[in-house]
Amino acid sequence: MEKINAFGICLYKKEKNTIKVLLCKSVKSKDRWGFLKGVALKNESKEETALREFEEECSISVHKKDLEDFFIQKNELKNIGLFTVNADSISHISKYFEGEVLYKKYLSSENSAVQFFDIDQLPLIKKKQQVVMKEIISFLKTCKK
């Protein structure tokens, strides 16, 4: 059985003495959150998948030039690959949010909520993304502060 590859974006923003990341809660999930990502289409690059899926899930368009570092978590059935993107690179980012929460009109039907979380106060994370989450958080703490 061929492994599934999913790619997405870890949108982060720096505020005063903290860093926040954008996470989503699927309509199928009761209490676990994860990154905005999705499965690659045939012949689609990881960059193309990440950009397409991110926009599908939150209506925010990201340019390929704004993709930064890449992280991957290899799982038994589905690999999860994520690019970091600084929210400052997206013009008019604030129009999509009320405080830290994505306005409902920008939510895809796949998600019940999308919002920013402080990297030191994260909610429960989906199991298939826990390793990559730790790697990204460690990277952000050391390289982006």
Q: Which residues pair with 31 in a beta bridge?
A: none
CA–CA dist 100, 113 (Å, integer): 11
Task: Report pTM.
Answer: 0.95
pLDDT of residue 29: 86
CATH of the domain at 98: 3.90.79.10
CA–CA dist 105, 67 (Å, integer): 25
Instruction: Tell me which residue of 105, 132, 101 sits closest to 117, measured CA to CA.
Output: 101
**Structural domain of 52:** 4-143
| Alpha-carbon 145 to chain mean position | 19
Q: Give the CA radius of gyration of the chain.
A: 14
pLDDT of residue 144: 62
**pLDDT one digit per residue (tens) for the chain, 145 residues:** 678 999 999 999 998 889 999 999 999 888 999 999 999 999 999 999 999 999 999 999 999 999 999 999 998 889 999 999 999 999 999 999 999 999 999 999 999 999 999 999 999 999 889 999 999 999 999 886 5
- The domain tally of the chain equals 1
